[in-house]
């Protein structure tokens, strides 16, 4: 006869088993959503409800395959199915349609690109990274990545600027500034501030458009370049590096920090926004998983501990280094140039 203690053990084992299997199956929902994003299905179905045949006509797709996909999206409540017609759920319409200012589609498209490299993780563990990725510099990939960062940064910029407490700083350099979301946030919060945005030439072109749309282009100097190969323009009292250091090896970061040090006037401050992992590198969990993302997508990137960030800044000459916000990817570390 099964004892009560044994029954409890079996129930706990079943719960753990189901939890493990749930993690293993999560990719199915993810893949359905990402395929819908790649096909822009939510935009297609954002107006009047359409039949499968009408969707197939627009996509030039397979009838059976499209039917199964739309039913899965309806089951997941991204679409509403009424009879034989489908429509994007109004609750997610603003987030998932390409013509919405609140759209998170660029982030989903970025995730779809990451899918290709993450699918090679087993091979990367055997052979080392990064994963093969023939479209590394494709314009579509760049736009998806920058668009993804732009959406997130727009949401976070005002709070981040408050956390930084600009003080008397009036000459910002935004290193790897992407589309300029944080540059815009700083300039809007500090009317007397001017900024230099430094990023790759293709990215700077995207930044110019968005900063111009905000009416701030007269206060921004845009500089195209590669911080791993070129020096940074000088004359600044505040440097901001957002989500940059995880792309680099430790030695690359030391080199970058030295360039930032030279770009700052005496008394200037550097702010690093990124993960600041705990010493055993297991917390936060999102940071440990993001390190895997860097494994499959970069030659030397990682999620770094605060001690590693501090060590790199000290090697570059910075003093009074501290972690003043511990919040996963939005952790903030500052250092001062004497």
DSSP string, 182-210: HHHHHHHH-TT-EEEEEE-HHHHHHHHHH
Q: Return the bridge partners of 206, or none.
A: none
Query: According to the model, what pLDDT value does residue 2 have?
Result: 46
Q: Is 150 exposed, middle or buried (0-12, 13-18, 19+ CB in 10 A)?
A: buried
Q: Cis bond leading into 284, ω under 30°?
A: yes
CATH 1.10.10.10 fits 4-96, yes or no: yes
In this predicted model, what pLDDT tens digit does every residue of 48-84 receive, in sequence order?
A: 999 999 999 999 999 999 999 999 999 999 999 999 9
Q: What pTM, to 2 d.p., does this model score?
A: 0.88
Query: Rounded to 5 degrees, what are φ and ψ at 14?
Result: -65, -40
pLDDT above 60: residue 289: yes
Q: Return the bridge partners of 335, or none.
A: 270
Query: According to the model, what pLDDT value does residue 179 have?
Result: 87
Is the dihedral angle over the CA atoms 22, 23, 24, 29 positive or is it negative?
A: positive
3.40.50.300, 3.90.25.10, 1.10.4030.10, 3.40.50.150: which CATH number matches 139-336?
3.40.50.150
Query: According to the model, what pLDDT value does residue 135 have?
Result: 58
Look over the chain and give the mean of its residue pLDDT values, rounded to a whole number: 92
Q: Which strands sit side by side in the sheet containing 220-224, from one edge to the other? A: 220-224, 194-199, 171-175, 236-242, 264-274, 331-336, 319-325
In this predicted model, what pLDDT tens digit does every residue of 163-212 receive, in sequence order?
A: 999 999 999 999 999 889 999 999 999 999 999 999 999 889 889 998 99
CB 23 within 8 A of CB 30: no
Which helix (H) or strand (E) segment holds residue 321: the answer is strand 319-325
Query: According to the model, what pLDDT value does residue 12 have?
Result: 82
The tokens describing 297, both together, are: 């997508």
Distance CA 255, CA 294 (A): 19
Cα angle: 255, vertex 256, 262; to 5 degrees: 95
Q: How many residues does the chain have?
A: 338
Region class of 128: left (phi > 0), else alpha (psi between -120 and 50), else beta? left
Domain spans of the chain?
A: 4-96, 139-336
Residue among 137, 131, 135, 115 at smallest CA distance from 34: 115
Distance CA 249, CA 299 (A): 8
Residue among 156, 157, 155, 152 at smallest CA distance from 172: 157
pLDDT band per the 50, 70, 90 thresholds, residue 146:
low
In this predicted model, what pLDDT tens digit does every residue of 3-38 receive, in sequence order?
A: 555 666 667 888 899 999 999 999 999 999 999 999
Distance CA 86, CA 8 (A): 45
């Amino acid at each position: 006869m099964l004892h009560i203690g044994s029954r409890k053990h079996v129930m706990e084992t079943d719960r753990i088993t189901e939890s493990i299997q749930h993690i293993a199956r999560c990719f199915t929902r993810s893949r359905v959503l990402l395929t819908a994003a790649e096909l822009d299905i939510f935009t297609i179905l954002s107006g009047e409800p359409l039949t499968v045949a009408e969707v197939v006509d627009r996509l030039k797709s397979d009838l059976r395959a499209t039917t199964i996909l739309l039913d899965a999206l309806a089951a997941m409540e991204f679409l509403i199915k009424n009879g034989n017609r489908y429509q994007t759920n109004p609750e997610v319409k603003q987030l998932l349609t390409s013509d919405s200012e609140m759209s998170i589609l660029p982030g989903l498209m970025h995730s779809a690109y990451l899918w290709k490299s993450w699918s090679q993780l087993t091979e990367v563990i055997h052979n080392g990274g990064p994963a093969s990725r023939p479209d590394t510099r494709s314009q579509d990939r760049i736009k998806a990545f920058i668009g993804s960062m732009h959406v997130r940064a727009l949401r976070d910029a005002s709070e981040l600027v408050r956390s930084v407490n600009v003080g008397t700083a009036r000459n910002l350099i935004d290193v790897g500034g992407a589309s300029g979301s944080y540059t815009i946030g700083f300039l809007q919060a500090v009317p007397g501030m001017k900024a230099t945005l430094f990023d790759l030439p293709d990215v700077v072109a995207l930044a110019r458009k968005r900063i111009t749309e905000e009416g701030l282009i007269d206060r921004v100097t845009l500089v195209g370049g590669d911080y791993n190969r070129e020096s940074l323009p000088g004359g600044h009292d505040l440097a901001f590096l957002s989500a940059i250091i995880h792309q680099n090896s430790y030695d690359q970061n030391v080199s970058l920090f030295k360039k930032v040090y030279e770009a700052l006037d005496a008394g200037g401050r550097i702010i690093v926004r990124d993960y600041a992992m705990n010493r055993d590198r297991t917390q936060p969990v999102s940071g440990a998983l993001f390190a895997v993302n860097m494994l499959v997508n970069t030659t030397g990137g990682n999620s770094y501990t605060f001690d590693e960030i501090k060590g790199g800044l000290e090697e570059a000459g910075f003093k009074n280094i501290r972690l003043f916000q511990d919040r996963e990817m939005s952790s903030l570390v500052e250092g001062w140039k004497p």
